[in-house]
Amino acid sequence: MKKIAFIFPGQGSQTIGMGKDFFENSKIAKEMISKATQRLGIDFEELLFEENDNLGKTEFTQPAILLVSSIANAIFKDKYKIKPQFVLGHSLGEFSALVSAGAIDYLDALELVHKRGLFMTEACAGAGAGMMALVGLEDSIVEKICEEQRKSGKKVWAANYNMDGQLVLAGLKADLESLVDTFKEAGAKRAIVLDMSVASHCELLRSAVENLKPYLEEYLKEEFVIDVISNVTAKPYNTKEEAIELLSEQLVNPVKYKHSISAFEDKVDVFIEFGNGIVLKGLNRKITKVPTLNVSDMDSLAKTIEALNE
């Protein structure tokens, strides 16, 4: 049997209509969405399947993505019995990974990431926060520029290490905008300020850290069934104590996604991405030669199971 790892996408993977194929074809999906609606008082059928403005708001985006990822994973587990070597997620996706690892119930996780989204929004309210995508620069060059700019008073940090030559920055939008030409002069092929009002994985979220901790304490279980790879350290953890510290620090530290994949690619034969779209599958093509399958609807579920049986 193949050795596999489960991986879960983060914010930015959402689209209207995500999870609808699961909902229309799976009792598991219908039940999970119904229970989520009851628990949070959010109409998830409306949020996921109908045109609305809420799906783009962090406090709604996060539970929506986690719910669809957890549904995809639950349906897969129902159809195919296999224990992964480890699980990991990109940013918010680490919470979906925790659900898969048995570290938290999915309903508790939905409540948790809804709170997380609110705390992130509150921390950045009125601050003029933003994020920027950079393509074509080495990490060390970006880090050096950010460090120099912070010394001169600007608030900019590396936030997501997605793959070689692709980094996302976080900080004050005005400061990021002022550095577009600086990064291009340094050799960036693209430097694009994103349409976001929250600055993830940087010091602007420091106030959210202490707000989140009590909920981590309340909802996380003591023991995990599977190791989770931390975004902060790119190393495995499997206890509640570690999780509370690492998930709190994840808010203000960069996501080491490419480091995590590279560090553990030799432990598996295949990665499987669970949730909407194929964002991580696309990144993995540039990071590793280990293939990535995906489960985003019933058709991709069938194809993934077929590939695992080959």
List, by residue number, the catalytic residues. 91, 201
Structure tokens given for 248: 């709190």
Is the Cα torsion angle 44, 49, 51, 54 positive or negative in sign?
positive
Which among 4, 72, 139, 37 has a CA at the least distance from the CA of 277?
A: 72
CA angle 33, 37, 35 (to 5 degrees): 55
The SS3 assignment for 133 reads strand
User: Can you give the length of the chain in residues?
Assistant: 310
Rounded to the nearest 5 degrees, what angle is found at the Cα of 58, between the Cα atoms of 54 and 63?
Answer: 85
The residues, any chain, with a CB within 8 Å of residue 235's CB and separated by 6 or more, are 229, 263
Amino acid type, 188: A
DSSP string, 153-178: T--EEEEEEEETTEEEEEEEHHHHHH
User: Which residue is associated with the tokens 């993995």?
Assistant: 284
Query: Rounded to 5 degrees, what are φ and ψ at 304?
Result: -65, -45
> Which residues touch 134 (CB under 8 Å, ≥6 apart)?
142, 166, 167, 168, 169, 183, 188, 190, 191
Contact in structure between 224 and 101 (CB atoms under 8 Å): yes
* Structure-block tokens of residue 242: 């570690």
Please give the biggest Cα pair distance in the chain: 57
**Per-residue CA distances from 204 to 122, 184, 195, 240, 300 (Å):** 11, 25, 17, 26, 38
Tokens (6 digits) for 147 = 């460090």
Taking a C-beta distance cutoff of 8 angstroms, is the pair 48, 64 a contact?
Answer: yes
